[in-house]
């Protein structure tokens, strides 16, 4: 099948050199893209700024901003059967980025932010027979927030993880399915978790195609 995977952070610049971002390493998304390719799928990986080499046998497209990732994801989803959205897309961006570097002064500066597009929700609301698996990074009220995200974004499954997974080669995740079922906590390498997520995507696509 054709599979879209997003990974890493985005950067939202408020002048020519400074930006808002987050510490996402992209490791989980890259591991998922590699696992999907190893199982014979045609994979497009859309990656924000990360220090990782392109996975073998994966078409990789590098982007920087949330808007770039949004546009690339929408285009790729048109002929994909599944999308696995691991990217930690910035929720906000500066309304009016400066065209040059701001000089430091003793004065406070105020930056107005606006919401970025919710890529996962946009795809989730136009799935049809396609599958969208989201990722929820939560540091409190974990399951409640993951449940709300699954419903609001209309995903077929939501992978719940926490800040302790960032940058690590191992992770702890819980998976919530669309019917409200939680899978038991999984603690393993990101490589092994990636394979489980790809197998889940395969099963969900098969179920939708036969429904």
Element (H, E) at 137: strand 131-137
Torsion sign over Cα 155, 157, 163, 168? negative
- What values do phi and psi take at 80, rounded to 5? -95, 155
Of 4, 20, 25, nearest to 170 by C-alpha is 25
Strand partners for 161:
137
Per-residue b or e along 8-27, where b marks 16 or more CB atoms closer than 10 Å to that residue's CB: bbbbbbbbeeebbbbebbbb
Cα–Cα–Cα angle for 68, 74, 76, nearest 5°? Answer: 100
Neighbours of 44 (CB within 10 A): 22
Give residue 181's Cα distance to chain centre: 22
Beta-strand relationship, 131-137 and 82-85 = parallel
Say whether 22 is catalytic.
yes
Give residue 89's Cα distance to chain centre: 7
From 22, 125, 165, 192, active-site residue = 22
**Which residues are the active-site residues?**
22
């Amino acid at each position: 099948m054709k599979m879209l995977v997003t990974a890493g952070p985005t950067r939202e610049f408020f002048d020519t050199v400074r930006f808002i971002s987050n510490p996402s390493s992209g490791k989980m998304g890259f591991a998922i893209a590699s696992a999907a390719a190893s199982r014979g799928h045609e994979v497009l990986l859309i990656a924000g700024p990360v220090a990782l080499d392109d996975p073998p046998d994966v078409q990789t497209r590098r982007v920087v901003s949330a808007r770039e990732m949004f546009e690339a994801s929408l285009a790729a989803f048109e002929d994909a059967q599944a999308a696995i959205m691991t990217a930690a897309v910035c929720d906000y961006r500066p309304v009016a980025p400066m065209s040059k570097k701001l000089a430091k002064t003793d004065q406070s500066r105020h930056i107005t932010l606006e919401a970025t597009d919710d890529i996962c929700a946009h795809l989730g609301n136009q799935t049809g027979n396609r599958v969208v698996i989201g990722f929820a990074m939560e540091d409190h009220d974990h399951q409640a927030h993951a449940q709300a995200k699954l419903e609001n974004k209309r995903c077929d499954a939501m992978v719940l993880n926490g800040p302790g997974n960032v940058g690590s080669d191992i992770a702890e995740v819980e998976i919530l399915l669309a019917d409200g079922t939680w899978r038991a906590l999984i603690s393993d390498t990101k490589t092994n978790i990636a394979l489980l997520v790809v197998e889940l995507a395969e099963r969900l696509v098969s179920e939708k195609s036969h429904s």
